[in-house]
Structure 1
């Protein structure tokens, strides 16, 4: 996840010096969009039942992924 302090943001200001827009390198913008999408998926699945780590490992082995 991107830390705000790590962004290479450039701000556009109005005549009063108020920030009105931001310019980011495209890779940082794409990473932010990916993080937003991940958070949206987490929010949508919040109420789904969870399974234990052991069950995950068992399923991965059973399905030939491990």
Structure 2
């Protein structure tokens, strides 16, 4: 990914912020969201759990599990 960032500097010339074009910022946000999904998937795979029937899982998601 190529970016066209601009730096905001303070009086001493130290970088304090970065300006990124909106379209690039949206791509960065999408990539971070995808990375979050991948990490959540990897974590779920590391945890052992017994399979749940589809109907039960849907009932739990809908809040109708009655558990």
Q: Measure the CA separation in 2 of the matches of 1:45 and 1:30.
A: 23
Normalising to structure 2: TM-score of the pair? 0.62
**Which gives a bigger RCO, structure 1 or 2 (Cα 8 Å, sep 6+)?**
1
How many residues align? The count is 45
Q: Which of these two proteins has the greater Rg computed from alpha carbons? A: 2
Q: Separation in 1 of the partners of 2:16 and 2:38? A: 31
Deviations 1:37-63 (A, max 9, x none): 0000000000428xxxxxxxxxxxxxx
Q: Structure 2: which 5+ residue stretches go unaligned?
A: 47-67
Q: Please report how far the alpha carbon of residue 31 of structure 1 lies from its aligned counterpart in structure 2 after TM superposition.
A: 0.2
- Which ranges of structure 1 fall in alignment gaps of 5 or more residues? 50-66
For the pair 1:42 / 2:51, whether they are aligned, the reply is no
TM-score, scaled to structure 1: 0.63
CA RMSD of aligned residues (A): 1.4
